[in-house]
Structure 1
Amino acid sequence: MEEITKFYQENNAVIVGYFLQFIAAIVIFYVGRLVAKVVKRLLERALLSRHIDKAVVSFMASIVYAIILIATVLMALSQVGVETTSFIAILGAAGLAIGLALQGSLANFASGILIILFRPFKSGDYIDAGGVSGTVDKIEIFQTIMTTPDNKRVIVPNAKITGGPITNYSAEPTRRVDILVGIAYDADLRLAKKLLEEIINADERVLPAPKPLIAVAALADSSVNIHVRPWVNAADYWGMYWDTLEKIKLTFDEHGIGIPFPQMDVHIKKDTQE
């Protein structure tokens, strides 16, 4: 007992210093863990308010929580005198090795985060992205699942989607139907335009505004091309497109307006010699 007392008296300042450092490390750890929980909770609320999938929100919040907690542990160890430089170097080397090994997966992961945050499309939208056209079924961290019009399920890596243009056909409530009609040069142009106007005006799916456009587009090699451009609700696009093509063909046949096919007239000239 006397030896312990003597040791304490001789090393009083050092023991008290280590004890205070230990207490400070514990305080840093608990404060850091509290901050990590608060940041995680705030991040979850912010992401959920943007209607992001709960599984994705939980995954991202857990990553942020782990990063803050690791930084807190390193600060606490540094407070008690533990050299953390080697730990940081090891973590950096491990992170670099993992990043190189999972380069493609990390690119898909980062792209998935961008898609979820900026929301260029959502589930149920019909899009053209990554070389695939279809309806978005599910947006996941590493890939997006789409269903094509012929009911094929296609899984597209997120990096391929964000690496090129994204066309979202469902983003706007209305769409313009573009139909190009060619008539013969000897056909009655005024009658053709009148019939096209009657076809468009008789369709209830055509919106009054913007006003449909019917105009001559070009004097082509074999035909006079006419642009027909009505506006419809996005859900009526394909039905309107197919029905109008059929009506145009039947109506033009009834009125004798020909729709020519590409052709070439060859004139043979015969030279005569005395």
Structure 2
Amino acid sequence: MTDTTITETIVTETAPQIGEVITEEAEHVSSVLTTFLDFLKGILPSLGFAVLTFVCGILLTRALMKAVRKGLDNKRIDRTASSFLQSLIQVALYVLVTIITLSVLKVPMTSIITVIGTMGLAIGLALQNSLSNVAGGFILLFSKPLKVGDFVNLGGVTGTVERIEILQTMLKTPDGLTIFIPNGNISGSTIINYNETPERRLDLNFGISYDDDSEKAKKLILDIIENHPHALQTPEPLVRIGELGDSAVILDVYVWTTHANYNTLKYDLNELVKKSFDENGISFPYPQTDVHINHVK
């Protein structure tokens, strides 16, 4: 049997089988496409309505948030609580819009609840730190150790509280930086609120030479404090020798002032004391070391 005859025989025998396979696959693909198209035809009206519902829900949420802000402002609620409540309400409204959109797509409510519960558990495990920040936000809101506008020190960061949100608190530092601190860190750290009391003590140190008259230096400082408009006379200012240093006698100066005038008084006293000491012959000594050399014969 020649090669041509063999080839013709193989083609003749396998051609019907190949044709059957192609036909079956074509029918299967056609069935899948038909099913998918029927599915799309069924959900397209719902899908379009769901998209419309979602968009309207977002727009309505924004309008409601404007009304909430206006209402909270009219009620003169504390700015800290107002900012936190706005964030909380906004998140709740977005969740509600999402649930409504899923229900429009005819997703069973039991399935939605199950999914939300499962997602809540997964998110809770994955975002433990974020949840602690939310809890920290509630602690800050109800215990009120600070509020918007307060000048505070939070874990070593000093600044004015600009905003308190669900997860974080925003500070504006004196040099113009904006710092975001997680609420969980704040609730678990030391909070120094300089606005809790209207008055604050300013502590300064001045070093004078051992050859200078310390009583004269103290009197000069007290005169400056007495004549300064921002220095309070009650409680009484204190100027005493606080330390006998290696190169200088250290004078401790304690004077009270209002929180608003703290930095002004600090800079003024430094400048006025320097000027007064220069005019009265009192020096600020440099660090020095005496070296004694013994000649051994």
TM-score grouping bracket, smaller chain normalisation: 0.5 to 0.7
Q: CA deviation at 1:248?
A: 0.6
Return the offset for 1:163.
2.5
Q: Residues of 2 paired with 1:161 and 1:195: CA distance?
A: 43
Match of 1:195 among 220, 233, 237: 220
More helix by share: 2
- Quick one: structure 1 residues 265 and 98, their matched pair in 2 at CA, closer, same or farther if it must change by over 3 Å? same
1:165 aligns with 2:190: yes
Q: Which has the larger radius of gyration?
A: 2
Further displaced range: 131-140 or 95-104: 95-104
* TM superposition shift of 1:159: 1.5
Aligned position for 1:56: 84
Once the two structures are superposed, what CA deviation does each residue of 1:211-245 show, in whole Å capped at 9, x if it has no partner? 11111111111111111111111100000000000
Gapped regions of structure 1 (runs ≥ 5): 1-44, 65-83
Between the aligned partners of 2:291 and 2:217, the Cα distance in structure 1 is 28
Which residue identity is paired with 1:182? G
Q: How many residues are paired up? A: 208
Which amino acid in structure 2 is aligned with residue 106 of structure 1? L
Runs of 4+ in structure 1 off by over 2 angstroms are 48-64, 88-98
Render the CA deviation track for 1:30-61: whole Å, top value 9, x for unaligned.
xxxxxxxxxxxxxxx9xx89735345336668
Q: Which residue of 2 aligns with 1:182?
A: 207
Change (3 A) 1:241 1:62: closer
How far residue 89 of structure 1 moved from its aligned partner, in angstroms, is 9.8
**Residues 145 and 61 from structure 1, CA distance in 2 versus in 1: closer, same or farther, beyond 3 angstroms?**
closer
AA matched with 1:118: S
Verify: 1:146 aligned to 2:174, yes or no: no
Aligned to 1:130: 155
- Give per-residue Cα distances to partners, 1:176-197, cap 9 Å, x unaligned: 1101111110101111111111
- 1:138 partner amino acid: R
Question: Quick one: which amino acid aligns to residue 119 of structure 1?
Answer: K
Match for residue 140 of structure 2? 115
Q: In structure 2, list runs of 5 or more residues that go unmatched.
A: 1-71, 93-109
Letter in 2 for 1:165: T
Structure 2 residue identity aligned to 1:159 = G
> Is the 1:130–1:156 contact (alpha carbons within 8 Å) kept by the matching residues of 2?
no
Matched, 1:220 2:248: no
Equivalent residue for 2:55? none
Distance 1:205 1:134, change over 3 A: same
What is the rounded CA distance, in whole Å, between the counterparts of 2:146 and 2:282 in structure 1? 44
Distance 1:62 1:247, change over 3 A: closer
Deviation at 1:165, TM superposition (A): 1.1
Aligned counterparts of 1:173 and 1:55: Cα–Cα separation in 2: 25
Aligned to 2:269: 244
| AA partner of residue 81 (structure 2) | D
8 Å contact 2:208–2:282 — kept in the other structure? yes
Task: Check conservation: 2:84, 2:164, Cα contact below 8 A.
Answer: no
Q: Distance in 2 between matches of 1:58 and 1:126?
A: 23
Aligned residue in 2 for 1:40: none
What is the root-mean-square deviation in Å for CA atoms of aligned residues?
Answer: 2.9
- The share of aligned pairs that are identical, in percent, is 41
Which of these residues, 250, 260, 263, is aligned with residue 285 of structure 2? 260
Could you say which residue in structure 2 is the equivalent of 1:100? 125
The one-letter amino acid of 2:123's match is: I
Q: Secondary structure at the match of 2:84?
A: helix
Letter in 2 for 1:223: A
Q: Give 1:208 shift.
A: 2.0
Say whether the 8 Å CA contact 2:83–2:163 is kept in structure 1: no
Please state whether the residue corresponding to 1:260 is helix, strand or coil.
coil
In the superposition, the TM-score normalised over structure 2's length comes to 0.63
CA separation in 2, counterparts of 1:179 and 1:63?
A: 49
Q: Normalising by structure 1, what TM-score?
A: 0.68
Cα deviation for residue 125 of structure 1 reads 1.1
